[in-house]
């Protein structure tokens, strides 16, 4: 698979995402459900701590990708939901720490929501990956 970022402007690269990605030659797509800050039994973790919730959500996404034989370099789209967009954006360096080493800036949408499935959750991330 060849994923080519499309960026008519560079400003989004400074925020860690591309405007679009052209995917050629993908033989498989994996669509991941929203990953949140829950442990292996599905119990919410880190109430009130956006940074810790983002970190665990990314850990959980990484585990799902690994189970599919993929990693963050395979991600071609992200959907992000946060109950406090400003607080989430303060912690987006965590995305750079995960996606930067694999040189991937997938297209991303960040939406503010009033709540998630479990009231103590503040952050959720879904992904589409391809190889």
68-80: pLDDT as tens digits: 999 999 999 999 9
- Highest CATH level, class, for 2-130: alpha beta
Confidence bin at 1 (pLDDT 50/70/90): confident
Place of tokens 């442990």: 39
Q: Closest by alpha carbon to 131, among 43, 12, 22, 30?
A: 30
Strand ranges (DSSP E) for 1-131?
2-6, 20-24, 29-35, 75-82, 108-112, 123-130
5-62: pLDDT as tens digits: 999 988 988 888 899 989 888 789 999 999 999 999 999 999 999 999 999 999 999 9
Q: Closest by alpha carbon to 107, among 129, 82, 78?
A: 78
Please give the pLDDT value at position 3: 86
Give the integer Cα–Cα distance in Å for 8 and 6.
7
Beta bridge partner(s), residue 5 = 21
CB atoms closer than 10 angstroms to residue 102 = 11
Instruction: Locate the domains of the chain by residue range.
Output: 2-130
Q: What are phi and psi of 112, to 5 degrees?
A: -85, 135
The answer to whether the predicted template modeling score (pTM) of the entire model surpasses 0.85 is: yes
């Amino acid at each position: 698979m060849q994923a080519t970022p499309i960026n008519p402007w560079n400003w989004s690269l400074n925020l860690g995402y591309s405007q679009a990605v052209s995917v050629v030659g993908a033989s498989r797509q994996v669509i991941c459900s929203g990953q949140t800050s829950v442990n292996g039994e599905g119990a919410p973790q880190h109430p009130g701590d956006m940074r810790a919730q983002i970190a665990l959500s990314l850990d959980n996404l990484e585990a799902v990708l690994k189970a599919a034989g993929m990693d963050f370099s395979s991600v071609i789209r992200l959907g992000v939901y946060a109950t406090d967009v400003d607080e989430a954006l303060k912690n987006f360096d965590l995305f750079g720490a995960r996606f930067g080493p694999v040189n991937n800036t997938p297209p991303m949408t960040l939406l503010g929501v009033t709540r998630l499935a479990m009231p103590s959750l503040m952050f959720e991330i879904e992904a589409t990956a391809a190889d």
